[in-house]
Chain A
Amino acid sequence: MSDTHSQTVPFVRETMIPQAEPPVGNRGVILWMRENLFSGWFNIITTLISLYVIWWALSHTMPWVFRGIWNASSLTECRAIRDATLPEGTSAACWAVLTDRWQQLLFGFYPRELYWRPVLSLVIFLVAIAPVLFPRVPRGALLFTAVSPFVMFWLLWGGTAWFPISIGLGFVLGWAAWRALAPMAGTLVASIVAVALPIVYWLYTAGPLARELEQVIPFRMEYVSSQDFGGFMLSFIIGIAGIILSLPLGILLALGRQSDLFIINKISVGFIEIIRGVPLIVWLFTASLLLNYFLPPGTNFDLMLRVIIMVTLFAAAYIAEVVRGGLAALPKGQYEGADSLGLSYWQSMRLIILPQALKISIPGIVNTFIGLFKDTTLVVFIGLLDPIGLSNAIRASTEWNGIYWELFVFIGLLFFICCFSMSRYSLYLEKKLQRGHN
């Protein structure tokens, strides 16, 4: 049979031809473009229109950006350089305002020779949050994290180191009281004492103690007042302090709102609803204006501290609601399971409920944090010199009056970098915590 075949057909391929690539039009970039950009008349039209819009936008802005002038001492000089070097009628950015004033945009009026202090505290902050953010860092580093706020405070404001140390002692005092009293006097008494004792200590003893210690063993560096804080440093301090403080407060409020204890429940609900029902700008005005009337004349309760407290309370109310969403999303079986194991309330929260609830809430929490960080620019309305406030101040100097976009481009870029990294981290966290059963 095979003979017949060999005689009727002149050629038979005996080996497979090697696999060839698809035709040019059906592979790689061209295929991707055909499938994604030019599949059908409607997509072709929208693609072309989008390309045109992108090209139009870039062709109008990019030359302005890249022709920018970096070396000049005033806007007038910028314009003179531009007219001398570029053809008439071309526009060019005057980035020289940034070379001249970048220190102010970043640090406000912080003394120039002390810039290492805020930079070092930022480094300390990044090191300190590492054990919280990344599980691979050894747990012992958490001790450093606990100490770091006091170190950062001292680095930023300076003055005597005994002040943050004596404030920190208050926490140690509360913790010691708890450890000493909890076994013999019961949880309730112990927690009341553990809260009350540090407060009394802070109000009456901490200040004099720090002064005494300072006289015995002087240990201080140059004091920088809050008035000199400004620019991105101010945004960072308000934002980071707000973020760190609002998370635990928000979690407590969320638990309080779910609590069966009448007073705790109503206080939490009232707090959350009142704070959340009023715009942040109103709270900032309250902090800067109204509190002044309540506080004794002459007391200077630092404006920055007041703002940090208000921003923290505001963010805490939002965090509380986000966490409550996470708590509500847990199946009832988790609560009952925890109870059936005989865990106490705090044990069940710490070991079973919160780890799951917080995991669900991560996108919402990070969303709130990003919002909080950007909201710090609202302090411009109460006269704090954040980047926006400084851009006004810079524009008011005779050299740079009339400049506009360059400053805002710079400020926007820095904010974008910060917020974008936060959102990337939240994505990383979500992927890492993905257990597949939710």
Chain B
Amino acid sequence: MKKSVLFGALTTAGLAAGAAQAATLDDVKERGELNCGVVTGLAGFGAPDANGVWEGFDVAVCRAVAAAVLGDPMAVNFVPTTGQTRFTALASGEIDMLARNTTWTFSRDTDLKFDFVGVNYYDGQGFIVPTALGVSSAKDLDGATICIQTGTTTELNLADFFRNNNISYEPVPVETNAEGQQQYLAGACDAYTTDASGLAATRATFENPGDHVILPEIISKEPLGPLVRHGDNEWADIVRWTLNALIAAEEYGVTSANVNELASAPGTNPEVNRLLGTEGELGGMIGLENDWAKNAIAAGGNYGEIFEKNIGENTPIGLARGLNAQWTNGGLIYAPPFR
């Protein structure tokens, strides 16, 4: 009884308050904290360390945005979301942005009413098999049992791939990546399929990584990126250009080591000057201080530094840049001009 009255009162209060919704940027500034949706735990992309401090490739995007808006990369309130809760959390305003290895798809961008502000990792679905199986291509997997996470796009991609190539397979459904690892190692399936970044991370944890090989076929496009709600374009701009600032910083050689020096006085490269606010008023155009990009870059380094620190070749996950190299190095990572 008491509770229903409470809910009723809150709902009525909500109808009254709903009309006067402030802009996300003002909310964040007033709160002094960015609410950022992240994974509940994915190796390299987002996980708390022993002290409860979140770190990872996606987490770094949250920190950069917090640094750009609030000047403090630690002023982030990380909200762990699952595959099911992530979109509602964003749509309902519980979080200001979502940086949770989420694939940019047509329906998510349009029907679900979100705005993907860019791509921070180009992923794709791959296969891992034991070397002993003697398979060198995914097309040799005719009749194989394959461990697959249920309810994901990977499940649908797998069905498409096998149908296109006119070969058969037997799915072994698993719930989580951890379960997939265990089932695969226990021999419950001949092959395990998930995003290639996940496969690399998984393989790195094996006792004998050399006994397993990741097949060359990538059977789907999974562009992962941060997203925000439809309707607040100013906020979307801030998140989009913070990501672009990290990418541009790598292209122009601005790193966490030299960013303070480069931002102290105008240098020779006008693009860097505009980016770091020593020239022009780019920060004011998106409602931020002029040193916003400097703060974002100082938070965790440029895109390349973030990549190397969390998932790069010197980490246990050991991903090569591949598609995620700068466009100047033959990759797809490309920031529009800061002008």
Interface residues of A (CB under 8 A from B): 75-76, 79, 100-101, 104, 108-109, 112, 195, 199, 203, 225, 227-228, 285, 288-289, 292-301, 309, 313, 380-385, 389, 392-398, 401-402, 404
Contact = CB atoms under 8 A, between A and B. Distances in A.
B176 A392 contact: yes
B10 A382 contact: no
A299 B14 contact: yes
B316 A398 contact: yes
A100 B44 CA distance: 19
A402 B316 CA distance: 11
Interface of A: prevailing SS = helix
B299 to A, nearest CB: 20
Nearest to B81: A383
Contact of B43 (A104, A292, A396): A396
A136 B85 CA distance: 48
A297 B93 contact: yes
Contacts of A300: 94
Contacts of B325: none
Interface string B1-37: 1110111011101111110011000010000000000
11 contacts: A293-B92, A295-B10, A295-B11, A298-B21, A299-B17, A383-B80, A383-B81, A392-B41, A397-B48, A401-B205, A404-B182
A259 to B, nearest CB: 14
A296 B15 contact: yes
Given A289-B88, A381-B84, A383-B82, 9 more contacts: A297-B18, A313-B3, A383-B40, A389-B40, A394-B47, A395-B43, A396-B39, A396-B47, A402-B206
Contact of A199 (B5, B46, B82, B84): B5
A203 B9 CA distance: 9
Nearest to B87: A289
B207 interface: yes
Contact of A296 (B5, B7, B17, B78): B17
B315 interface: yes
B330 to A, nearest CB: 28
A322 B12 CA distance: 36
A294 B88 CA distance: 12
B10 A301 contact: yes
Closest 4 CB pairs of A and B: A402-B205, A296-B14, A396-B41, A292-B92
Interface in B85-105: 85, 88-89, 91-94
B10 A104 contact: no
A203 B7 CA distance: 11
Contacts of B207: 79
B174 interface: no
A104 B52 contact: yes
A389 B2 CA distance: 32
B33 to A, nearest CB: 10
B162 to A, nearest CB: 29
B188 to A, nearest CB: 14
A230 to B, nearest CB: 9
Given A296-B13, A392-B40, A104 B21 contact: no
Contacts of B94: 292, 300
Contacts of B17: 296-299
Tell which of A228, A292, A382, A402 has the most Cβ of chain B within 10 Å. A402
Contacts of A384: 80
A358 to B, nearest CB: 22
Contacts of B93: 292, 297-298
A397 B82 contact: no
B181 A402 contact: yes
Nearest to B16: A296
Interface string B243-255: 0000000000000
B201 interface: yes
B315 A398 contact: yes
A203 B5 CA distance: 10
Nearest to B49: A397
Contacts of B156: none
Contacts of A293: 88, 91-92
Given A104-B50, A401-B201, A393 B14 contact: no
B260 interface: no
Contacts of B52: 104, 108-109, 228
B129 interface: no
B265 interface: no
Interface in B150-198: 176, 178, 181-182
A289 to B, nearest CB: 4
Contacts of B3: 309, 313
A397 B79 CA distance: 17
B6 A393 contact: no
Given A195-B2, A292-B89, A393 B79 contact: no
A385 B85 CA distance: 14
B62 to A, nearest CB: 14
A392 B178 contact: yes
A190 B34 CA distance: 48
A399 to B, nearest CB: 8
Contacts of A79: 207
Contact of A393 (B11, B40, B77, B316): B40
Nearest to B14: A296
Interface string B47-78: 11111100000000000000000000000011
B317 interface: yes
B92 A385 contact: no
A228 B52 CA distance: 9
A136 B178 CA distance: 50
Contact of B46 (A109, A309, A383, A396): A396
